[in-house]
């Protein structure tokens, strides 16, 4: 507890220092993130339902695009077959419309956060044909509801395997029910349902050479078969150590070379190295060093993003401020991480914020 109080006070001092350092005296004088990027690309944030209240001021000032963190996933939208629950997703879309924000739809097909009924038929497993019919009903219902409001969709999320010996994830219930055709089918269905929507394939680890090769192979196959794929979503759950900025740049070029738009769809920079299982950074000096590394990383990657503004059509943070982030639960449950641009105490801009807006 003591450590936490100490750490929070320490952060407040750091942020106050950052504000004074920039000569900023009031909230009104703070530059707006999305306005700083009007000549480049929209700046988005993923929101949970409660962010609309908790982070309203930040959202209205700094972001011009929004993604539902969970509220548009299959299990939330259609918990029972034919029973759609749009209430929360609608609130997010209405908030975006009121504030002239774009909405990125996330996500139609994923091997997580799907309802149990989807792959069942009575006591047994549903046949591929039935699963595809259900997918089509889902896609038609959801895309027609949000036609004109949601400008792009992550149609398929994370279909490629992390394993060296596997191409597509064979443990995905989609793969098991339908085979690899589910990917092309989902894009075709989405395109029929809303021909105006930009359709994305979205994945993490998309800068790693081995996984990138598989993702490119998949995208090339889809494009060669005339499947309507318009963009590659690089999630961007990175940390202060990796991947190096050069690797990120290589990946952007590689996906763009396929003729696709590129978006960074789920950006956050963890203070912890992948595999570090500590509960918190207790040494204040280490925390200072990590926050500086984070600021530098954000600075480097945004320099690259700006350079590739012809192909990058959006950058979305996976959260708004450090008080509400999935990184507090994954990969270490209950560990406080500080991966975003605004702090967890007063929603003040961190040093990383200044490195992103001052260029």
Binding-site ranges for ligand GLA (CB under 6 A): 106, 157, 204, 235, 266, 326
Cite the beta strand spans of 138-260 per DSSP E.
152-157, 198-203, 231-234, 237-239
Catalytic annotation present for 330:
no
Query: Is 158 part of the annotated catalytic residue set?
Result: yes
d(CA 302, CA 238): 13
Cβ-proximal residues to 8 (8 Å cutoff; 6+ apart), any chain: 344, 345
What minimum distance in Å lies between the beta carbon of 204 and ligand GLA? Answer: 6
Nearer to ligand GLA, 14 or 315 (CB): 315
> Which residue, 86 or 326, is less far from ligand GLA as judged by CB?
326
Measured from the CB atom, the residue of 204 and 238 that comes closer to ligand GLA is: 204
CB of 71 to ligand GLA, least distance (A): 11
Kindly give the pairing relationship between strand 237-239 and strand 261-270.
parallel
Q: Which of 185, 249, 261, 266 is catalytic?
A: 266
Shortest reach from residue 119's CB to ligand GLA, in Å: 19
The CA-based angle 233-236-241, given to 5 degrees, is 155
Output the CA–CA distances (angstroms, integers) from residue 11 to 6, 21, 26, 248, 289, in the order listed. Answer: 9, 15, 19, 29, 13
Closest CB to ligand GLA: residue number: 326
Rounded to whole angstroms, what are the CA distances from 309 to 44, 150, 301?
A: 15, 22, 12
What's the min distance (Å) between Cβ of 303 and ligand GLA?
Answer: 24
Indicate the residue among 337 and 351 with the shorter CB distance to ligand GLA: 337
Residue 126 or 142 having the CB closest to ligand GLA:
142
Bridging pattern class, strands 65-68 and 43-47: parallel
Catalytic residue from among 158, 185, 249, 351? 158
Scanning the structure block, which residue is given the tokens 């992103």?
356
The tokens for 73 are 């996933």
Shortest approach of ligand GLA to residue 294 CB, angstroms?
A: 19
Query: In degrees to the nearest 10, what's the CA dihedral of 126, 130, 134, 140?
Result: 160
Hey, is 249 helix, strand or coil? helix
Mind telling me the catalytic residues? 158, 266
């Amino acid at each position: 507890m003591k450590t936490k109080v100490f750490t929070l006070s320490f952060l407040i001092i750091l942020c106050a220092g950052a504000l004074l350092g920039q000569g900023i005296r009031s909230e009104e004088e703070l530059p707006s993130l999305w306005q700083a990027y009007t000549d480049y690309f929209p700046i988005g944030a993923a929101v949970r339902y409660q962010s609309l209240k908790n982070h309203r001021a930040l959202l209205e000032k700094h972001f011009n695009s929004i993604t539902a963190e969970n509220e548009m996933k299959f299990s939330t939208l259609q918990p029972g077959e034919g029973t759609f629950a749009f209430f929360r997703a609608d609130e997010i879309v209405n908030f975006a419309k009121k504030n002239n924000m774009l909405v990125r739809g996330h996500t139609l097909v994923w091997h997580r956060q799907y309802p149990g009924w989807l792959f069942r038929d009575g006591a047994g497993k549903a046949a591929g044909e039935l699963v595809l019919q259900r997918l089509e009903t889902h896609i038609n219902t959801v895309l027609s509801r949000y036609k004109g409001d949601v400008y792009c969709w992550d149609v398929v999320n994370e279909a490629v395997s992390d394993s060296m010996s596997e191409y597509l994830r064979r443990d995905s219930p989609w793969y098991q029910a339908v085979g690899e055709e589910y990917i092309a089918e989902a894009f075709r269905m989405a395109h029929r349902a809303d021909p105006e929507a930009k359709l994305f394939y979205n994945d993490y680890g998309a800068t790693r050479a081995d996984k990138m090769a598989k993702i490119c192979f998949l995208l090339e196959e889809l494009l060669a078969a005339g499947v309507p794929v318009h963009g590659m979503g690089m999630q961007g759950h990175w940390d202060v150590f990796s991947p190096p900025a050069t690797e990120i740049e290589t990946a952007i070029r590689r996906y763009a070379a396929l003729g696709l738009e590129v978006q960074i769809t789920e950006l956050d920079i963890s203070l912890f190295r992948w595999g570090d299982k500590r509960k918190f950074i207790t040494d204040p000096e280490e925390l200072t060093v990590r926050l500086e590394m984070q600021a530098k990383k954000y600075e480097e990657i945004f320099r690259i993003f700006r350079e590739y503004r012809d192909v990058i059509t959006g950058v979305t943070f996976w959260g708004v401020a450090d008080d509400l982030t999935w990184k507090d639960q994954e990969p270490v449950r209950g560990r406080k991480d500080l991966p975003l641009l605004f702090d967890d105490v007063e929603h003040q801009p961190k040093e990383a914020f200044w490195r992103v807006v001052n260029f």
